Structure formats: C-alpha cells, structure tokens
Structure 1
Amino acid sequence: MSKPILEVDNLQVSFKMSAGEVQAVRGVSFTLNKGEVLAIVGESGCGKSVTAQTIMRLVPTPPSYIKNGSVMFDGKHDITKLSESDMEKLRGQEMGMIFQDPMTSLNPTMTIGEQIMEGVRKHQGSSKEKARERAIELLNLVGMSNPVERLSQYPHELSGGMRQRVMIAISLACNPKLLIADEPTTALDVTIQAQIMDLLKDIQEKTGTSIILITHDLGVVAEMAQRVIVMYAGKVIEQGTLNEIFYDPRHPYTWGLLRSVPRLDSDSNSDLASIPGTPPDLFAPPKGCAFAARCPYAMKVCLEKDPEHFTASDTHSAACWLQHPDAPKVERPIEVGVRSNG
C-alpha cells in the first residue's frame, strides 16, 4: 500500500491572547491517502479551519504557535519544522488551498490573468506566454466562459461563483498533490454551490489530487468524501468511512449533527433537531469529555476523564465512553443517516 500523502500526528495549536491561552487544536491525528477526498466536519469553532491553515502554515505566528505534534507531507517534509522559505516552495506548487470568501482572497488590484499566472511563473519558471496559455487552460478546466476575455478582468467584475472558479484555477495552477478546500461554497447561493462541488468532484477524478474538504454541510460531504473526520472542541471525536459515519455513527455529537440535517423522506411538519447548549470555553477546556455538558447520555466518567478512541472497525473509531465494553447500552436516535449518491 502506498504511503499517505499527509500524516498529522498529535497536532496541538494554541493562541496566546491577553486573557490567556486558547487551545484551538488539541491533539488531532489523521492520515490522508493519495487520491482520496477526506472531509473534516463540525460546528463553528471546533478547530477544523485552524487545522487546515496550520497544515498550510498560514495561521499568523504570533499569536498562534504549534505546541506539539507533526504534519508529515509526502513522507519527506515535516511542515511544523520547515522554514518560511521552504514553505513558500511547497505552497502553490505541491499544496493548494481554496478559501471561504474569494472576494477577500483575491487581490483587487490585479487582473485575474496576473493572479493565475503569478504562481505558474514563480514555481515553474514559465515564460509569460507559456503562463498565459496555462491560465487559459485552467479557466477552461474550471468551466469559465470566455477565458481569454476573463484574463484582463478584475475580481470585482466577476460574480461570486466566477470568483470561486478563479480561486480553484489558482490553486490548481501547478498540479498540486494536496488541495485543501476550506468551506469553498459558504458565500455562494445554493445553485452555484452545487456547480462548484460538481466541479471539484470532476477535477479530483481527472487529476487524482488528494483533497481535504472543510465544511459544516453534510450534504456536500455525502456527495464528495470517501472518509469523514468529526471534530469537536479542538479534537477528533469520530472518524470513519462515509458509510460508517452516516449509517453507523457511534458518538452522540455525530448523531446530533446528522439529525440536524433536513430530510426529504421525513415528516415535513416535524421540528428540525438541534444540539442544545454551547461548546466549551477553550481557554479552560474540561478535564473530561468536552461534549459531556451537552450530551443526554453523559455518565460520571465522562465528566472526570477524557475518553480514548474505541475501535469499531479497522477504519472506524469514536472517542466516547459509551463505546466501552462495560458501558450501558444506549439506543441510537432513529433517522441519523444522510442519503448519499455514492
């Protein structure tokens, strides 16, 4: 079996603030295989975007700092130990990122063509003419109409969906081995969201690029991902294949996420389920399970000791004391699955 393209081991990232230390990422570990789409899901503030931006070394330092752990890329680069100049060689060439809001990510003073060509010329040493040809090729790849005309336009002249296509083109300019898509459809309407996700899926199938998809939209996950990581309060609390997470979830937080998704096959008059309460304060995380205060199944041990990951299969594990062999049996809520086209 080929070596994973990415191996994250016990990653811990904190922010030094005037009020104290915010423990944003608290011991995250996972792998990403070559050609795989891995989704990281969870509510706002769970640490998924900080994890992604740490992999790209884009989190400002200070106030952030990596307390512990390693991020091994392509079996030869520990991202946490590389200098900024070495990271600049990796970013764009071997690692690309699609950000949440293309309007704030694109440079308003540069044309679309200049922004796409910049990475090609820097990393591949291409001439201006060759870079221009590559830019046109990329705009065609992402389904942009009139690509030659678009080269001379500025971001404010394009719609939100078109700007996001330009962001994808920039991230793919040098055929990266890893692509991180951080909430790539957040600022778009539903119709354009579907088009962008179809585009990403098509590009992944054509190029074989490994993708980390950061999202809170489980419908998007069902369309694209092969494996899913569920994060809560800076930790991975469950991970498994798409079918394992959607149809055999083991953590009460995952149950809550899945039950909060509207379903076409449910009673239209029924209330949409929600998870009561709020996430814990990461200035002072609880010593036990971070979800215990919101969990209807919490036991005494949940408040006192952080659970280990209990294995359900070779690919599926959950950090929940309910999975302990001696734990009381709990009946999982019905209708936790989200239908997938996969």
Structure 2
Amino acid sequence: MSKPILEVDNLQVSFKMFAGEVQAVRGVSFNLNKGEVLAIVGESGCGKSVTAQTIMRLVPTPPSYIKGGSVKFDDKYEITKLSEKEMEKIRGAEIGMIFQDPMTSLNPTMTVGSQIMESIRKHQGGSKEKARARAIELLQLVGMSNPAERLRQYPHELSGGMRQRIMIAIALACNPKLLIADEPTTALDVTIQAQIMDLLQDVQEKTGTSIILITHDLGVVAEMAQRIIVMYAGKVVEQGTLDEIFYDPKHPYTWGLLQSVPRLDSDTSSELKSIPGTPPDLFAPPKGCAFAARCPYAMEVCLNHDPEHFYASESHSAACWLLHPDAPKVERPVEVGGRANG
C-alpha cells in the first residue's frame, strides 16, 4: 500500500487569550491516502476548521500556537516546522483550500479572472496568455458557462453558487495534490449545495486529487467520502469507513449526529432529534470524556477518565468506555444504522 499523502499525529493547537488558554485541538491523529476523500464532521466549535487551517498554516500566530504533534505532507514536508516563506510555496501549488464563504474570500476589487491567473503565474510562471487559457480551462472544469466572459466579471456580479465555483477553480489552478474543502456549501441554498457536492465529486474523479471535506452535516458526505472522522471538543471520537459510520456507528455522539439528519428510509412522521446540552468550555476541558455531560449512557468512569480508542475493526475505532469489555451492553437507538439522506 502506498504511503499516505498526509499524516497528522497527535496535533495540539491552542489559543492564548487574556482569560487563559483555549485548547482548540487536543491530540488529533489521522491519515489521508492518495486519491481518497476523507470527511471530518462535528458540531461548530469542535476543532474541524482549526485542524484544516493548521495544515495550511493559516491560523494567526499569535494568538494561536502549535502546542505539539506532527503534520507530514507528501512524505517530505513537516508542516509544523516550515517557515512562512516555505509555506507560501506549498499553499496553492500543492495544497489548495476552498473556504466557507466565497464572498468574503474573494477580492472584491479584482476580476475573477485576475484572481485565478494570479495563483497560476505565482506558482507556475509563464505568460499572461498561457495563464488566461488555463483559467478558461478551469472555469469549464467547474461548469461555468461562457468562461471567457466570466473572467472579466467581479465577484459581486456572480451568484453564490458561481462564486463558490470560482473558489474551486482557484483551489485547483495549480493541480494540487491535496484539496481542503472547509464547509464549502454552508452559505448556499440546498439546490446549489447539491450541485457543488456533485462538482467536487466530479473534479475528484477527473483529477485524482485527495480531498479533506469538512462539514457539520453527515448528509452531505454520504455519496462522496470513503472515510469519516467524527470530532468533538477538539478530539477525534470516532473514525471509520463510510459504511462503518453510517451503518454501524459506535459512539453515542455519532448516534446523535445521525439522528439529526433527515433520511428517506425513515417514517416521515418521526421528528428529528437534537443532542441536548452544549459542548464543554475548552478553556478548561473536562478530565474525563468531553461528551459525558451530554451522554445518556455516561458512567462514573466517563466523568473521571478520558477513554482510549477501542477498535471494532482495523479501520473503525471509537473513544468510548461503552466499548470496553467490562462495560454494560447498550443498544443504540433504532433510528441509527442506515444511510443518511443523500
């Protein structure tokens, strides 16, 4: 088996604030294989975006700092040790990123063509005409009509879906080996969300780019991701293949996420369920399982000891004391265990 293109090992990222230290990412570990689509899911504030932005070294320092861990890319870069000048050669050229809100990510004073061509000329050189031809090719790839005309337009002249397609084109401009999509459909309506997800899947199949897809909605990854990581309170609480997470989830938090997603195979009269309570304060994370205060199955050990990862298979693990051999047997809710609507 080929070596993973990305290896994240025990990554810890904190923010030094006036009131103290916010432990945003607390020991995250995962691998991404070449040509694979990996989804990272969880509620807002669980550390998904900070993890992704740390891989790109885009988290402002200060107040943030990498407290520990390793991020190895393409078996030759230790991302946490690179200087800003070294990272500038990697961003855009080898790692591309699609941000949440294209309206605030695009420069309103530049045409979209100039913004696409800027990345091409910075990393690949060549003439302006060659960069323009590549920009038109990229706009065709992302499904934009009249690409030559679109190059002359400004972001405010385009719809939300079109702007997101421009962001995808910029991210793909230099044929990156890794594409990070951070909540790429958040600011879009449901119909456009589906189009953008179909586009990402089509682009991945055509280019073979490895993708990290960050989202709070398990439903949007059902047809695209091969593997899923579930994060909570700055940690990975469960990871496995798509089928393992959708059909045989092990962690009560994952159960809660799945119960909040509409499904075609469920009774239309059944109500969607939310997870009661709120995530813990990461100024002072609990010493035990971070989900214990919201978990209906919490035991005394959950409150006092952080669980290790227990493995259900070689690819499937969850950090939950319910998987310990001595734990009482708990049946997961009947609503959980089928593919989400998508």
- Matched residue, 1:98: 98
Q: Deviations over 1:178-221 (max 9, x none)?
A: 00000000001111111110000000001000000000111111
Matched, 1:209 2:209: yes
* Unaligned segments of structure 2, at least 5 residues: none
CA distance in 2, matches of 1:74, 1:275: 38
CA distance in 2, matches of 1:16, 1:174: 35
Q: Do 1:100 and 1:185's aligned partners in 2 also have CA atoms closer than 8 Å?
A: yes
Q: Do 2:263 and 2:340's aligned partners in 1 also have CA atoms closer than 8 Å?
A: no
Q: How many angstroms does 1:262 deviate by?
A: 1.5
CA distance in 2, matches of 1:341, 1:205: 22
SS of the residue corresponding to residue 57 of structure 2 reads: coil
Q: How many angstroms does 1:340 deviate by?
A: 6.1
Q: Deviations over 1:72-102 (max 9, x none)?
A: 0001101000000000000000000000000
CA distance in 1, matches of 2:203, 2:45: 29
Q: How many angstroms does 1:338 deviate by?
A: 4.5
- Matched residue, 1:195: 195
CA distance in 2, matches of 1:126, 1:292: 56
SS of the residue corresponding to residue 223 of structure 1 reads: coil
Letter in 1 for 2:65: Y
SS of the residue corresponding to residue 224 of structure 1 reads: coil
Q: How many angstroms does 1:266 deviate by?
A: 2.3
CA distance in 2, matches of 1:27, 1:118: 36
> Normalising by structure 1, what TM-score?
0.99
Q: Do 2:8 and 2:72's aligned partners in 1 also have CA atoms closer than 8 Å?
A: yes
Within-5 A mapping of 1:1-342? 1-339=1-339
Q: How many angstroms does 1:337 deviate by?
A: 3.2
Change in 2 beyond 3 A, CA 1:294/1:40: same
SS of the residue corresponding to residue 8 of structure 1 reads: strand
Q: How many angstroms does 1:223 deviate by?
A: 1.4
* Unaligned segments of structure 1, at least 5 residues: none
CA distance in 2, matches of 1:312, 1:338: 18
CA distance in 2, matches of 1:186, 1:74: 29
Report the identity percentage: 87
CA distance in 2, matches of 1:105, 1:325: 49
CA distance in 1, matches of 2:160, 2:227: 29
Q: How many angstroms does 1:269 deviate by?
A: 2.5
Q: How many angstroms does 1:271 deviate by?
A: 2.1
Q: How many angstroms does 1:249 deviate by?
A: 0.5
Q: Do 1:223 and 1:340's aligned partners in 2 also have CA atoms closer than 8 Å?
A: no
SS of the residue corresponding to residue 115 of structure 1 reads: helix
SS of the residue corresponding to residue 175 of structure 2 reads: coil
Q: Deviations over 1:17-38 (max 9, x none)?
A: 1110000000000000000000
Q: How many residues align?
A: 342
Superposed structure 1 runs of 4+ greater than 6 Å apart:
none
CA distance in 1, matches of 2:39, 2:7: 15
Q: Do 1:5 and 1:33's aligned partners in 2 also have CA atoms closer than 8 Å?
A: yes
CA distance in 1, matches of 2:92, 2:162: 20
